[in-house]
Amino acid sequence: DSGVTQTPKHLITATGQRVTLRCSPRSGDLSVYWYQQSLDQGLQFLIQYYNGEERAKGNILERFSAQQFPDLHSELNLSSLELGDSALYFCASSVYWGTGELFFGEGSRLTVL
SS3 per-residue string spanning 3-65: CCEEECCEEEECCCCCEEEEEECCCCCCEEEEEEECCCCCEEEEEEEECCEEEEECCCCCCEE
User: What is the total count of residues that contact another protein (CB under 8 A)?
Assistant: 26
Minimal distance, residue 80 CB to another protein, in Å: 26
Q: For residues 5-34, which are near another protein according to CB under 8 A?
A: 31, 33
- Using CB under 8 A as the binding rule, whether residue 109 contacts another protein is answered as yes
Name which of residues 37 to 76 contact another protein (CB under 8 A): 41-43, 45, 48, 50, 55-56
